Amino acid sequence: MAKQVISTAQAPAAIGAYSQAIRAGGMVYISGQIPLDPASGQLVGGDIRAQIHQVFRNLAAVAAAAGLGLDSAVKVTVFLTDLGHFAAVNEIMAEYFPQPFPARAAIGVSALPKGAAVEADAILAG
């Protein structure tokens, strides 16, 4: 199966041995996005809501680079350093993902790269 790299300057550049996304077998696998501003490479300021919005904007930018939107998402995984922010994720996610919503897992973790409070990845069909 051939793999195609998906990349965009509209989302944070990969900072390790991975790609922003890979298209393979009719699916697009988007790497975990933390709330980095793609222009500055720095974490966005503000509260958890600002971080959640930036994560979903980053996912949307990578999806767009693949010629898709977040409406093509079939699975999303959200990582939170505080599961107390789960309600905010639910509320904000509904602004970015139309119904029917993708399958989702939310996982509590002790730490995320660069001190982020939230990270999410996605699998898109298309």
pLDDT in tens, 71-120: 999 999 999 999 999 999 999 999 999 999 999 999 999 999 999 999 99
Q: Where are the domains of the chain?
A: 3-125
Q: Does domain 3-125 have CATH number 3.30.1330.40?
A: yes
Summarize pLDDT for 96-109 with one digit per residue, the tens: 999 999 999 999 99
Q: Collapsing DSSP states into helix, strand and coil, what is residue 91?
A: helix
pTM for the full predicted model = 0.96
Residue 88: predicted pLDDT: 98
pLDDT digits (tens, 9 = 90+) for 27-75: 999 999 999 999 999 999 889 999 999 999 999 999 999 999 999 999 9
Among 19, 20, 18, 26, which Cα is nearest to 1's? 26
CB 39 within 8 A of CB 69: no
